[in-house]
Amino acid sequence: MQIGCHLSSSKGYLEMGKCAVSIGATTFAFFTRNPRGGTAKEIKKDDVEAYLKYAEEHNIKKIVAHAPYTLNLCSADANVRRFANRILIDDLKRMEYTPNQYYNFHPGSHGKQGTEIGIEQISEALNSALKPEQTTTVLLETMAGKGTEVGRNFEELRAIIDRVELKDKIGVCFDTCHVWDGGYDIVNNLDGVLENFDKIIGLKYLCAVHLNDSMNPLDSHKDRHHKIGQGYIGLESIIRIINHESLRNLPFILETPNELDGYAAEISLLRSNYKI
Ligand code: FE
Ligand code: FE
Ligand code: ZN
């Protein structure tokens, strides 16, 4: 089972790898730069090399990097959009230091522009950033539908993918808190939700899972993550999620409100409930 959590990137790749292993993780996520955007730390070649060797020895196959929260490819403000485009391009360059990994981002918030314009702007930005030679897969995250978020349902993600030229460079990250808050009943009808995902987007695009409980009921559009088993999704449903045949081999990233010891406990709880 590939499971891990968000880690601090302040000490570099090798330290993230070691931290992951220390809490029983075999994958992890990190912000490519400060979650609020801004400049990124320089990547050190020897750190990356040491990390890649360490990852191989410790069975870490995929990392799921996360773009800063402020990255908004469909902002109503053209300056914000330009800034986001630049960050996307720069982050994708940086991702190539660790080949064949995932880079996840929030599609964006369209402001008052409307979903259709938002979808156009996001896909245009992707078309100018994605390169045939890149090894990174860029993941669109399923969103809770807070405010004017794009990606509030499977159809909106499909509409973006439809417009992306290099479709083999794109995938989806399924955030359990977000889809639940977005109105998909993964508690009572997980099979149905995933069938719907397959019909609208296609399971071949499903690359990673953000595994979170939710502080709010179905369809609340709130996006407040809870610890595993303590929210409205509940442990029983989360155990069904990690064992589901369409999800069980994907990397699971915890984004629950925890410190490292809390993550270690959740990882061991989930491992002990993963059917081999
Ligand atoms: Fe996210
Ligand atoms: Fe998430
Ligand atoms: Zn969230």
Strand partners, 103: 65, 138
As a whole number, mean pLDDT of residues 81-90 equals 96
Better-predicted residue by pLDDT, 176 or 10: 176
**Placement of tokens 């981002």 in the chain:** 105
| Catalytic (active site) residue 263 | no
Which pLDDT score, from 0 to 100, does residue 243 have?
98
b vs e for 150-188, b when ≥16 Cβ sit within 10 Å of the residue's Cβ? bbbbbebbbbbbeebeeeebbbbbbbbbbbbbbebebbe
Check: CB of residue 248 under 8 Å from CB of residue 242.
yes
Q: Which two tokens stand for residue 194?
A: 């995933």
- Reported in sequence order, the residue ranges of the chain that DSSP labels E, i.e. its strands, are 3-5, 28-31, 63-66, 102-105, 108-109, 137-141, 149-150, 170-175, 206-211, 213-214, 225-226, 252-254
Give the pLDDT confidence score for residue 137 in this predicted structure.
Answer: 98
- Percent of the chain exceeding pLDDT 90 equals 95
Phi first, then psi, for residue 50 (nearest 5°) are -65, -40
Q: Which ligand is nearest to the CA of 104?
A: 1
Question: Catalytic residue at 54?
Answer: no
The DSSP bridge pattern shows strands 252-254 and 206-211 to be parallel
The active-site residue, picked from 6, 33, 66, 94, is 66
Q: Ligand 1 centroid vs 101 CA: distance in angstroms?
A: 16
Whether 231 shows a pLDDT value over 80: the answer reads: yes
Tell me: the pLDDT tens digits for 28-55?
Answer: 999 999 877 778 888 999 999 999 999 9
What spacing in Å lies between the alpha carbon of 42 and ligand 1's midpoint?
23
29, 7 contact by CB (below 8 A): yes
**Annotated active-site residue in 91, 156, 175, 181:** 175
Respond yes or no: is residue 47 known to be catalytic: no
Task: Show the CA angle centred on residue 82, arms to residues 79 and 85, nearest 5°.
Answer: 150
More confident site: 70 or 197 = 197
Our answer to whether residue 103 is catalytic in this structure is no
Q: What are the pLDDT digits (tens) for 203-214?
A: 999 999 999 999
For the question of residue 244 being annotated catalytic, the response is no
Residue 225: active-site member: yes
- What's the mean pLDDT in 71-86? 96
List, in order of start, the domains of the chain with CATH numbers: 3-272 (3.20.20.150)
- To the nearest whole number, what is the mean pLDDT of the chain? 97
CA of 178 to the centre of ligand 3 (A): 6
Pairing of strands 149-150, 108-109: antiparallel
Residue 109 in this model has a pLDDT that exceeds 90: yes
Q: How far is the CA of 45 from the centre of ligand 3 (A)?
A: 32
pLDDT tens profile 114-155: 999 999 999 999 999 999 999 999 999 999 999 999 999 999
DSSP annotation of 40 reads P
Task: Determine the Cα–Cα distance for residues 162 and 156; give it in Å rounded to an integer.
Answer: 10
Burial class (CB in 10 A: 0-12, 13-18, 19+), 22: exposed
Q: Of 110, 152, 158, 225, which is the active-site residue?
A: 225
Q: Residue type at 10?
A: S
Q: Determine contact, residues 180/140, Cβ cutoff 8 Å.
A: no
Q: How far is the CA of 31 from the centre of ligand 3 (A)?
A: 14
Name residue, tokens 């320089």: 42
Is 223 catalytic? The answer is: yes
Q: Using alpha carbons only, what angle is made at residue 266 by residues 63 and 172, rounded to the nearest 5 degrees?
A: 35
Active site residue 226: no
Contact 74, 81 (CB under 8 A): yes
- 20, 7 contact by CB (below 8 A): yes
